[in-house]
Amino acid sequence: MTGFQLEDDYALEVYPRRAINIVRGQDASLWDDKGNEYLDCAAGVGVANVGHANMAVAEALARQAKTLITCPGILYNDQRGRLMQKLVELSPSGLNRVFLCNSGTESVEAAIKFAHKTSGRTGLVAAMRGFHGRTLGALSATFKYRDAFEPLLPDCAFVPLNNIDKLKKAVNETTAAVILEIVQGEGGVRLVEADYLAAARRFCDEQGALLIIDEVQTGFCRTGTLFACERFDLEPDMLCLAKGIAGGVPMGAVLCTDRVQAGIGVHGSTFGGNPLACAAALAAIDFMLDHDLAASARDKGKYFLDRFSGKLPARVREVRQVGLMIGIELKEKATPYLKALLQRRVLALPAGPTVIRLLPPLVITTDQLDAVVEALHAVLSD
Ligand SMILES: *Cc1c(COP(=O)(O)O)cnc(C)c1O
């Protein structure tokens, strides 16, 4: 039986699927079961930053799998300790403590709980169009996908991104935390403004609330710096990480300042901080640093923008690019163009109804980017 039949017969439907059975990857390429090659501008939704089948990650995984895969949080582990140290050393100053989990939504879920525990309050302020995950807590701070699941956490207010006055009105003495992305990913590749972030920091300090920055998608060199908040000199109280952290292996993390309190028994995770994922993360992060993938994202993002914008199709309303996080906003629905791209063997993502989102592995070559630009021009000018 083919992968199609098997999944059609057995999977609970939650995704709109394309009829392609992907069986292998290498760097920024994917292959289907018929041997067709695809240029991957999805990277597993911003996960495979170091490229598919990355040898450094594969070898670290193989080594660790033969050594120790699991180790409960009540015991110490060498890989886990080294990863925590590395994350603290590389992250914005003040973030001194790490909680490890297994996904982006889990990192947000943990951050919300830590914010409640630290502040003794329950209010959340989040941005319209923001995305923070799909578990019930993280979904409460997410703008879309929520209607079928009400009631969620009761005290979550949504404010328009980059409107300082509205933010000021929303943050008060009941606010546990303000949660923001630096570049909204699912929401359409929209960059937060420096003044707005500074205001968010100030309002949180004035009201005794915590500032949670969700870098699940923007972290690990995607936007041209290791963490996107580096470009703003921002010191959040918590930083949520996942997606690219471990080269494709499931992992999430919350980095916290000393102010953030959890306490024994408050939270936990069976798989969180397992030695296998930690070894993969150590290898992936070393690869990013050794190959300066932050500079790659900066340079290649600019390269793409220059090439693509040189001959901007009339259907395009705007291109938003931060490193290799690229949103092409159309004047019409994006889905037909995503399908047409797939026929030209370019895999891209939506971000809201009218935005084509590109999140290629950061190891994508300029030749491959030329091919992506060519396919985009062909499809969008048709
Ligand atoms: C993807 C994403 C999440 C959720 O991560 P999962 O690993 O899918 O649970 C949370 N926040 C942001 C900003 C994301 O892009």
Per-residue pLDDT tens for 117-145?
999 999 999 999 999 999 999 999 999 99
Residues 190 and 169: their CA atoms lie apart, in Å, by 22
Q: Does 146 score more than 70 pLDDT?
A: yes
Q: Does 54 score more than 90 pLDDT?
A: yes
The percentage of residues in the chain with a pLDDT greater than 70, rounded to a whole number, is 99
What strands lie across the sheet with 325-330, from one edge to the other? Answer: 316-322, 325-330, 355-358, 349-350
Could you give phi then psi for residue 43, rounded to 5 degrees?
Answer: 50, 45
pLDDT confidence tier of residue 382, bands split at 50, 70 and 90: confident
Q: Is the Cβ–Cβ distance between 262 and 66 less than 8 Å?
A: no
What strands lie across the sheet with 156-159, from one edge to the other? Answer: 97-101, 252-256, 238-241, 210-214, 175-181, 123-127, 156-159
Q: Which ligand 1 atom is nearest residue 135's CA?
A: 9
Could you give phi then psi for residue 278, rounded to 5 degrees?
Answer: -65, -40
pLDDT confidence tier of residue 23, bands split at 50, 70 and 90: very high
Pairing of the two strands 238-241 and 252-256? antiparallel
Which pLDDT score is estimated for 20?
A: 94
Query: 160-171, pLDDT tens digit by residue?
Result: 999 999 999 999
- Note every long-range contact of 83-90, with CB atoms under 8 Å and residues 24 or more positions apart, other chains counting: 83/273, 83/278, 83/281, 83/282, 86/282, 86/285, 87/241, 87/253, 87/255, 88/255, 90/226, 90/227, 90/285
Query: 313-367, pLDDT tens digit by residue?
Result: 999 999 999 999 999 999 999 999 999 999 999 999 999 999 999 999 999 999 9
Tell me how far the alpha carbon of residue 41 lies from the centroid of ligand 1, in angstroms: 17
Radius of gyration of the chain (CA): 21
- How much is the pTM? 0.98
Give all domains of the chain, ordered by start, each with its CATH number: 3-53+292-381 (3.90.1150.10), 57-290 (3.40.640.10)
Can you tell me the mean pLDDT for 93-118?
97
Query: 239-289, pLDDT tens digit by residue?
Result: 999 999 999 999 999 999 999 989 899 999 999 999 999 999 999 999 999
The verdict on the CB of residue 297 being under 6 Å from ligand 1 is: no
Of 132, 279, 157, residue with least CA distance to 207: 157
Can you tell me the mean pLDDT for 63-71?
98
The per-residue pLDDT of the chain, averaged, comes to: 97
Tell me how far the alpha carbon of residue 108 lies from the centroid of ligand 1, in angstroms: 8
Residue 23 contacts by C-beta under 8 Å, 6 or more apart in sequence?
Answer: 3, 31, 32, 33
Choosing from 182, 216, 254, 359 the residue with most ligand 1 atoms within 8 A of its CB, the one to mutate for a pocket test is 216
Residue nearest (by alpha carbon) to ligand 1 atom 8: 104
Residues 91 and 215: their CA atoms lie apart, in Å, by 11
pLDDT confidence tier of residue 1, bands split at 50, 70 and 90: low
Q: Does 292 score more than 90 pLDDT?
A: yes
Which pLDDT score is estimated for 58?
A: 98
- Give the CA dihedral 109, 110, 113, 115, nearest 10 degrees: -110
Residues 185 and 155: their CA atoms lie apart, in Å, by 24
The verdict on the CB of residue 137 being under 6 Å from ligand 1 is: no
Q: Does 63 score more than 90 pLDDT?
A: yes
Q: Which ligand 1 atom is nearest residue 181's CA?
A: 13
Residues 30 and 41: their CA atoms lie apart, in Å, by 10
Of 243, 244, 217, 212, residue with least CA distance to 228: 217
Can you tell me the mean pLDDT for 34-56?
98
Q: Is the Cβ–Cβ distance between 120 and 316 less than 8 Å?
A: no
Distances (CA, A) of 11 to 22, 113, 188, 284: 16, 32, 28, 31
Which pLDDT score is estimated for 334?
A: 98
Instruction: Calculate helix-pair angle for 335-343, 366-381, nearest 10 degrees.
Output: 120
The verdict on the CB of residue 132 being under 6 Å from ligand 1 is: yes
Which pLDDT score is estimated for 3?
A: 76
